[in-house]
Amino acid sequence: MNDFVYKWRNPIFGSVSVVLFFLGWEALLTWAIPLNPFIMSKPSLIFEGLWLEMQSGQLWSDLLISGQPFIFGFGAAIVVGIFVGTMMGWRARVGYALDPLLTALYASPLVAIAPLVIIFFGVGVSGKAILIFVLCVFPFVFNTYAGVKSVDRLLVNVVRSLGGNERDIYLKVIVPSVLPFIIAGARYAIGRALVGILVGEFFAATAGIGYRIAWFSDMFELSRMFGYILVMMVVAVLFTEGIRWAERAAFPWRVGM
């Protein structure tokens, strides 16, 4: 019993406080303050609205629509980012040449070119996918670059001296050293991709999670808007914590990178 409490202390405290938060919110707007539906909503209404959206299938179709450009943009960012990052780490001169330019671009708020991208490529999948690509490619580039640079020459020599061939060097040294960096990059990139989806859909869209959030707010349907915000939060947490969990499971030796 004691053992159980020790082990689960943090999750228990966390869940309790989340439940208390929702109960407190509900209670406050039920008994203490009269609810003005044009500026606020409460959990019972939010969950009811969300339930209706699920039943009508609207939520799922919005998720699908937002998911498409995400998959294209993110996939392209992975491929291009890993390629460029590997070249930079592999050939020092490529690294020297690209580093300052890409650093400057990475440091700048690239969402600022969103209006141009959308006007140029249209409000469909391609505009959003390109926006997501532009935002996500940098974490992959820089993390792969750092990962390749961090490969321990000593380990390469050790494997070689033990009779390993090029393949062994790749599979036993280089990939295991670089992969954790790339996955950590994916964790940063996910957040940026979600920003890309929202920006794209806030600007111009006819469906999708971001579009729906903006639309509900224009219609003063705050309960539904909060419901969609909640969905967005759950998706974001699932993605980032999922990657974190995978990192811990796959690379226990580099916890906390």
Partner 1 sequence: MVAYIEAKNVNLIFTPPNRMPVTALKDFNISVGEGEFVSIVGPSGCGKSTFLNVLLGLIPPHSGEMAINGKRVSGPGQDRAMVFQEFGLLPWRTVLNNVELGLELKGVATSERRPVSQKFIEMVGLAGFEGHYPHELSGGMKQRVGLARALATDPDVLLMDEPFAALDAQTRDIMQAELLRIWQEAKKTVLFVTHQIEEAVYLSDRVIVMTKRPGRAKKIIDIPLPRPRDYEMRVTQEFNDLKLQLWNELKDELTVHGNG
Partner 2 sequence: MNDTTSTAVSPVPASAAPVRDEGLGEITRRTFWEANERHALGIGFIVFVLLLWEVIPHILTLSRGMDLFFTTPTQVAMTLYNMFASGEIWPAFKFSAVAFSVGLGLSIVAALPLGVIIGRSHTMNAMLDPFITAFNATPRLVFLPIILVWFGIGMWSVVVVVFIGAVFPLLINTYAGVRNADRLLINVVRSFGASEWQINKLVILPNSMPFIIAGLRLAIGRAILGIVVAEFFGGSSEGIGVMMNDAAGKFQVDIVFAGLVIFMALSLVMVGGVKVLEARLSRWRPENVKSF
Tell me: does residue 10 bind partner 2 (CB under 8 A).
Answer: yes
| Closest C-alpha among 242, 174, 233, 193 to residue 70 | 193
Size of site (CB under 8 A) for partner 2: 54
Give which of partner 1, partner 2, none residue 198 binds (C-beta under 5 to 8 Å, depending on kind). Answer: partner 2
At its nearest, how many Å lie between partner 2 and the CB of residue 213?
6
Tell me: does residue 9 bind partner 1 (CB under 8 A).
Answer: yes
At its nearest, how many Å lie between partner 1 and the CB of residue 187?
25
Please state at what angle helix 125-150 crosses helix 58-90, rounded to 10 degrees: 40
- Rounded distance between C-alpha atoms, residue 128 and residue 201, angstroms: 8
Tell me: does residue 7 bind partner 1 (CB under 8 A).
Answer: yes
Q: Which residues fall within 8 angstroms of residue 146, CB to CB, at 6 or more apart?
A: 89, 181
Tell me: does residue 11 bind partner 1 (CB under 8 A).
Answer: no
Piece of 61-69, 123-131, 168-176, 210-218 that binds partner 2 (CB under 8 A): 210-218
CB 184 within 8 A of CB 193: no
For partner 1, the binding residue among 10, 55, 161, 165 (CB under 8 A) is: 10
- Rounded distance between C-alpha atoms, residue 77 and residue 138, angstroms: 8
For partner 2, the binding residue among 52, 80, 111, 155 (CB under 8 A) is: 111
Tell me: does residue 91 bind partner 1 (CB under 8 A).
Answer: no
For partner 1, the binding residue among 3, 38, 101, 253 (CB under 8 A) is: 3
Radius of gyration over every alpha carbon of the chain, rounded to an integer in angstroms: 23
- Rounded distance between C-alpha atoms, residue 133 and residue 32, angstroms: 47
